Amino acid sequence: MQTITTTYLGPTNHLGSRYKATHTGKAKTVTLSADYALSAAENHALAAKTLANKLRWEGSYVGGHVKDGMVFVNADPMYGFEVSI
């Protein structure tokens, strides 16, 4: 299963804040300028969606936070499990 990982890139002297999306194979990426009308999570999702469109991936994706950003996977699981506490 392929995933999309997104990271936040802080501003530099020449560029504003950006969000970068990379797919598992790391062959293709997209980098978008931050949309300050959106939340951080929405900017991550927008970067992931833009990359999924570029890769011509279809389906519904879900994302979650990780140490360096977010990870998105297709919601149609090939494998799954449930946890009950």
Locate 70 and state its tokens. Answer: 């977010």
Model's pTM, two decimal places?
A: 0.87
Task: Give me the pLDDT at residue 25, please.
Answer: 80
Sheet containing strand 29-33, edge to edge, reads 29-33, 18-23, 3-9, 69-74, 61-66
Task: Give me the pLDDT at residue 75, please.
Answer: 87
Give pLDDT tens digits for 16-70.
Answer: 999 999 998 878 999 999 999 999 999 999 999 999 999 999 889 999 999 999 9
Task: Give me the pLDDT at residue 67, please.
Answer: 93
Alpha helices in 1-85 (DSSP H): 40-54
Cα dihedral: 79, 47, 8, 12 (round 10): 160
